[in-house]
Amino acid sequence: MSRRMNAAMYHGVGDVRYEQTDVPEIGPGEILVKVGNALTCGTDVKTYKRGHPILLRHTPALFGHEYAGTVEIVGEGVDRFNAGDRVVATNSAPCGTCFFCKRGSFNLCPELKESFVNGAFAEYVRVPKHVVKWNTHRIPDSLPFREAALTEPLACVVHGIEEANIQLGETVAIIGAGPIGQMMIMLAKKSGASIVIVSDLAELRRDMAARAGADVVINPAKEDAVERVRAETGGYGADVVIEAVGLPATWEQAVDMTRDAGMTVLFGGAASGTTFE
């Protein structure tokens, strides 16, 4: 008889149940990780509220994809990891060998969608072979699981910041100071931005933004964020604007805040079917 574990199972929109299920079986190249910490991602919240066409194709399904923990079992052919290793892994990985992977377009790898990890909100999570091969990392004892589990969202932010191509001395405006926005602030500063301007409705997030390194913090309920950014930049607009909310209104704001020939990064994902002008 297979072993049982506790897990938060996704049964449908607005319906997640904490219940018993089988511990996942692992195949060649895979590992089973005993979850130390799992985080709730914005994508999990969206999936809970409106479902997700790619991540969860059938229900009930295991749920959750940001995690760190300890290797419990290694599958046949895995030589980089041993039982007992503390690791963090991401939620997907490309194959590394197909037409698109060879051209560096890893996001178009057809196997990417087949390698999605879901099931971090459980005692054990199965890590598929591509993720074991490319996106699983041993972590030092000094790094707590809850911090290591931020690797996946941080990796997304690193990618967004690379796309933003911030030059030394530039002004960067960031709309939205949630966890992603906070990481954007820190990395924008590290990338050489002289002035980072942040806009968020929540006071707690504005305070955290200031502590994370924001030079100018805007409350968009009290003043026009676009006008303030223009005022802070001699009327030109920011060199780089990063939208980290995911609403059409803030997408449009982001474009309006950007100087001519500047860079707008629409990082926040809006609901499917959203249009903007």
Helix-helix angle 225-232:248-257, to 10 degrees? 20
- Applying the rule CB under 5 A, the residues between 242 and 271 that interact with Zn ion are none
CA distance 82 to 245: 40
Binding segment (CB under 5 A) for Zn ion, from list 3-11, 86-94, 141-149, 193-201: 86-94
150 binds Zn ion per the rule CB under 5 A: no
Candidates 41, 185, 238, 244; binder of Zn ion (CB under 5 A) is: 41
CB 44 within 8 A of CB 63: yes
Burial environment of residue 3 by CB neighbours within 10 A (0 to 12, 13 to 18, 19 or more):
exposed
Q: Which stretch binds Zn ion (CB under 5 A): 13-21, 73-81, 95-103, 187-195?
A: 95-103
Task: Assess contact for 55 and 92: CB atoms under 8 A.
Answer: no
Nearer to Zn ion, 9 or 55 (CB): 55
* 160 lines the binding site for Zn ion (CB under 5 A): no
Q: C-alpha 33: how far from its chain's center? A: 20
Which residues have C-beta within 8 Å of that of residue 270, sequence separation ≥ 6? 246, 247, 248, 251
Size of the site for Zn ion (CB under 5 A): 8
Q: Cα(183)–Cα(199) distance, rounded to whole angstroms? A: 14
Candidate segments 14-22, 47-55, 108-116, 122-130, binder of Zn ion by CB under 5 A = 108-116
CB of 198 to Zn ion, least distance (A): 22
| 128 is a contact residue toward Zn ion (CB under 5 A) | no
Shortest gap between Cβ of 63 and Zn ion (angstroms)?
12
CB of 170: closest distance to Zn ion in angstroms? Answer: 28
Residues 198, 176: Cα–Cα separation, whole Å? 7
Tell me which stretch binds Zn ion (CB under 5 A): 99-107, 115-123, 169-177, 184-192: 99-107
Three-class secondary structure of residue 53 per DSSP = coil
Question: Is residue 154 a contact point for Zn ion (CB under 5 A)?
Answer: no
- A 10 A CB-CB count for 211 gives 9
Mark the segment that binds Zn ion (CB under 5 A) among 5-13, 56-64, 105-113, 203-211: 105-113
DSSP annotation of 123 reads S
Q: Which of 101, 120, 132, 254 binds Zn ion (CB under 5 A)?
A: 101
Q: Does 175 bind Zn ion (CB under 5 A)?
A: no
Q: Please report, as ranges, the residues that interact with Zn ion according to CB under 5 A.
A: 41, 43, 66, 94-95, 98, 101, 109
